[in-house]
A and B are shown apart, each in its own frame.
Chain A
């Protein structure tokens, strides 16, 4: 184990925290949607879990992750398996995957939304992407959420405006299912790390980023949170982790992902 780095950005802290989701997943496809989650999955593959599988975001699995910045061409990348979109669904439904996605809304049940906001379903105020692969992902394999700006706009008071992924909502549980069939794992935000291991799968604060208070997390969340015993601080990245991150992101695109690129330690 190398020493904790003395200086690191919040983006880097979040990437390292997010990468831990993949540590004990075994030989699964690690999918990170968005630059920081992809960096997190790539970091895990390069350090803690070399058995992970990774795509080129297009049509192939790679034996070595591509850099997340500075790619000019896919020529010469370390292809190992063709995995076009239909094969991705075969992988999804096999369960051998963990996806880290960035929903626009997450509710207290761990249900998530990237489809549309506000208005009515027939005429939303803001049309987003559509449900994409959220329904299939959420009922097939482990899923984690990456939230760059922790707020009550994301962690909504009621249910998501459009429930795109199944969560721990007893009213929506399909016949023959239990909560054990659903695997919403972790939530990494700019304030903290959370999971769903509170009482009755309540969302729970696991660690606070340096300089963040429990009260701030609660104020910026639209529902009640459980909290682990002996709530601690999210561990700082090591210099070795920062070096791998820098190799994977040579143009430092990670510095442009969070507004004003805040430091990781805000004490």
Chain B
């Protein structure tokens, strides 16, 4: 089965009111070209589940988001993500705030097709106290109470992989897959962008096959976009673009996110975008961060 699509064809699967999940972590390996395509689309009123970075921030700043399911939204070196921050401080979005590990549990439950996973995480905190959707249950096996972390089911997930074949086999060559495999499994429909499109024979090397974390039946759409994670990183190919994140942050801070969108996204192709930020060679030369 050939699952290759353009970003526009792929993102057309996302309709207003849907719940979408986005892989990656903070400023790392985010499917940003797919997010830009979503910014160009008419889809709105979205519920977004993510270990959030500028993906969540930009969608919030563009008014696409009804609700965010999150444990953090941060760019690490810029601890406070500007678009998300503004949306929160204007009361523009609903939130479902959980612990980072609870998100893993919710994704796991969805991927296993069970309604919840019991956990002690969240007990005694406002995660539970402020969220009537999170239920506390008794255990049939002990006398304690437990949080029933609900399955985080989603309509569509967006993921950025290092390499894919056209059948949807996806290699994550980065040191961390994060929860991307769980996003792929939790979603009814998964769209994966990749830096490199490879023949199926690429995966015959056992070391490469070990870097494939979900089977291709969970990938519905493959989009080949070299540099498609920019301004986030795609370790080991390129790092994240500190300068660009800062410029985006300044634009939001100055109330000029619309100008950012018009300069980089709306009415522009991904080629236009990449030319704006210095070209694909410049993206691929971005150094990996070291802490």
Number of A-B residue pairs having CB atoms within 8 Å of each other in the complex = 149
Q: Contact between B126 and A162 (Cβ–Cβ < 8 Å)?
A: yes
List A127-160 residues whose CB lies under 8 Å from chain B: 127-136, 138-140
Contacts of B72 in A (CB 8 A): 129-132
Q: How far is the CB of B234 from chain A (nearest CB, A)?
A: 14
Give complex CA distance A71, B72 in Å: 26
- Is B258 part of the contact surface with A, judged by Cβ < 8 Å? no
Q: Contact between A135 and B102 (Cβ–Cβ < 8 Å)?
A: yes
Q: Contact between B120 and A139 (Cβ–Cβ < 8 Å)?
A: yes
Contacts of A129 in B (CB 8 A): 72-74, 79-80
- The B contact surface, by secondary structure, is loop
Q: How far is the CB of B154 from chain A (nearest CB, A)?
A: 18
Give complex CA distance A99, B72 in Å: 18
Chain B count of residues within 8 A CB distance of the other chain: 46
Q: Contact between A172 and B124 (Cβ–Cβ < 8 Å)?
A: yes
Give A168's nearest chain B residue, CB to CB.
B124
Give complex CA distance A248, B206 in Å: 38
Q: Contact between B91 and A123 (Cβ–Cβ < 8 Å)?
A: yes
Q: Contact between A176 and B101 (Cβ–Cβ < 8 Å)?
A: no
Give A112's nearest chain B residue, CB to CB.
B125
Give complex CA distance A250, B4 in Å: 49
- Is B133 part of the contact surface with A, judged by Cβ < 8 Å? no
- Is A163 part of the contact surface with B, judged by Cβ < 8 Å? yes
Contacts of A127 in B (CB 8 A): 80, 84-85, 88-89
Question: Quick one: given A123-B89, A124-B89, A163-B126, are A135 and B121 in contact (CB under 8 Å)?
Answer: yes
Give B179's nearest chain A residue, CB to CB.
A86
Question: Quick one: given A131-B97, A176-B144, are A58 and B175 in contact (CB under 8 Å)?
Answer: yes
Give complex CA distance A73, B290 in Å: 5
User: What per-residue 1/0 map shows which CB atoms of A41-59 lie under 8 Å from chain B?
Assistant: 0000000000000001111
Give me the interface of B with A, judged by CB distance under 8 Å.
Answer: 25, 51, 70-74, 79-80, 84-85, 88-91, 94-95, 97-102, 104, 120-127, 129-130, 142-145, 175-179, 288, 290-291
25 interchain pairs, CB-CB under 8 A:
A58-B175, A71-B291, A85-B25, A85-B178, A86-B177, A86-B179, A119-B89, A122-B91, A122-B94, A123-B89, A124-B88, A124-B89, A128-B80, A129-B72, A131-B98, A131-B127, A134-B125, A135-B122, A135-B123, A135-B127, A136-B100, A162-B130, A166-B123, A174-B144, A177-B144
Give me the interface of A with B, judged by CB distance under 8 Å.
Answer: 56-60, 66, 71-74, 82, 84-86, 89, 92-93, 111, 115-116, 119-136, 138-140, 162-167, 169, 172-177, 182
Starting from the known contacts A128-B79, A130-B74, 15 additional A-B residue pairs (CB-CB under 8 Å) come to A58-B291, A72-B290, A93-B101, A93-B121, A115-B97, A127-B84, A131-B127, A136-B122, A138-B125, A166-B123, A169-B124, A172-B124, A176-B142, A177-B124, A177-B144
